Each structure stands twice: as C-alpha cells, then as structure tokens.
Amino acid sequence: MKAHFVITISAMSKMEKQAEILIHSIKKAGRCEDSFFTIMTHEPRKISNSYLKDHQIVGYKTDANLKQPWSVCPRWNVTPEADLVISLDSDVIALRDLNPLLDQFQEKRGIFGTIACNDNYSFEKWEELFRLASMKYPQKTYNTLIGRSRSMSSRVSSRAPYYVNNGVVCLSSEYVSEMRANTKKMIGLLNKVSYHDFFITQRATTLAAYACNLPLHVMPKEFNHLEICCGQPNKNTYFFHYNLSKNKKFFDPSVFLFKMI
C-alpha cells in the first residue's frame, strides 16, 4: 500500500546516507515502491545527498543553543500524502514486506508505536508532566523498563503511560493536523522543564497523543526491532533499529541493503 514516510535527519553525511539506504530498503524489502517520502531536518540547505534532494525536504526552526537540535523535531509538520504517515529515525532499515501490518494499521486507525524499552523518567516524573500539561495521569498503563540510564540497573514498571519509541511511529492521516499542533505545544512545555533532554519530542508525542484522545495501539515489537532489547534481527523483523548496535561491523546497514539486492 502507499504510505507517507517522514524521515528525520540532521545535516550530516552519515545521517543522509542512512536516510538514502532506508528509503531504498522501504521500496525494495518493504515493497512500498509507490510511497511518498519526506526528509525532515533543521538544516535543509545543508543537505548534499543528490538522492534525497529528489524527495520532499521540510525544514523546521529550532533553538541553536540545543545540544541536539533534532531532539525537538515537530515530526508531524507535514501534509499527509497517504492514509498513513510513518515517522522514522534515519538509523532504521526495512527488512521485510511492510504491507500486511500497514493494512492492519489502516483498518484500526489511531497511533501505533512500540512501547519504549527503557525510559529514564520515573512514573513520578511522568505524573508531574501530565499535571503540567493539565491532564490526568492515564488509568491504563503499560509495562516498561524504568531506570536512570541504559547503562544502569533498571526495573520493570507497570505504571508507565503509552510512551513509544519515536524511531518508528505510525499515525492515521486524519489525526496529523491535531497531533502537529499538540506536539508543538508539548515541546514548548517540555523545553521549560527539561531543556537539552534528548527525548523531548518522544515525550511530547506521548503527551500529544493523550491530549488528542487518540486510539492508542501497541504495534508488534518486530515492527521496530531494537538491538538492545531484541538482539539480532530475524525473519520476523520489519524495521531494524540498529543505532544501539554493539557490533557495528555486523550491523552495518549497507550490508543488509546489499543482501536484499
């Protein structure tokens, strides 16, 4: 099926190459040849990759003082070109036909994401964020690993909100406009209390989804297979999120692309 893929990058040659490989993999292994692609970056004029220039490029303003300016990317700042808008980090790669799950997402409608494997916010901090956003903490909660960092010991919490990993998030197009407005609002709120937080947009997506009262769906973990949680990719992996790879040589995305071709 046709989908609208939005790939977020910084104007770095590494991320540009990752985005190019990702698009090729979506078209080839993902069998989404007719889909629409948007490259989203805070430095659109610095993109040098000629392949990416053939696709839509959307820029956004950000605070130049931020350590990671792409951390406040308004990922839904697009006009939908398909029934499903899929937001992606550049460091993922499609390894199999995406259409079966995309058909299911299209039928169900709402927002679809894999629950974050490790959240460095305790549920007490999440409760504070919901209060700041003038919302009640959700009654339905989810299991996630809670810890101060990935390198430190974590514990399983069943009190986390619907907090998804932004590496692969799917949204029905009818909700894009509302999510765009609320995500921007929540990014502004989080900037006031958690400036320089690498996961600002990710947390803002959570708060915006609740503010929009969206149908919340947990997609299979194989749709955003994270090496740190799930090990090496396998035949069930749809998108492989390889940024956390321990063996950079084994997880070289260009090797996967070569194997697919």
pLDDT tens digits, one per residue of 6-40: 999 876 778 898 999 999 999 999 999 999 999 99
Condensed to tens digits (0 to 9), the pLDDT of residues 214-254 reads 999 999 888 988 877 777 888 899 999 887 555 555 456 66
30 three-state secondary structure: coil
Q: How far apart are CA 142 and CA 158, in angstroms?
A: 5
Phi, psi of 146, rounded to the nearest 5 degrees? -115, 130
Question: pLDDT tens across 163-180, in order?
Answer: 888 889 999 999 999 999
Q: Which domains does the chain have, with CATH numbers?
A: 4-115+163-260 (3.90.550.10)
Strand pairing class (84-89; 4-8): parallel
Residue 64: partners with Cβ closer than 8 Å, 6 or more residues away:
none
Whole-angstrom Cα Rg for the chain: 17
More confident residue, 248 or 62: 62
**Rounded to whole angstroms, how far apart are CA atoms 22 and 136?**
38
User: Which residues lie below 8 Å from residue 125, measured CB to CB, with a gap of 6+?
Assistant: none
How many whole angstroms separate alpha carbon 191 and alpha carbon 207? 14
Taking residue 16's Cβ as centre, other Cβ atoms within 10 Å add up to 23
CA distance 37 to 3: 8
Residues 175 and 87 sit within 8 Å (Cβ to Cβ): no
φ, ψ at 143 (rounded to 5°): -80, 130
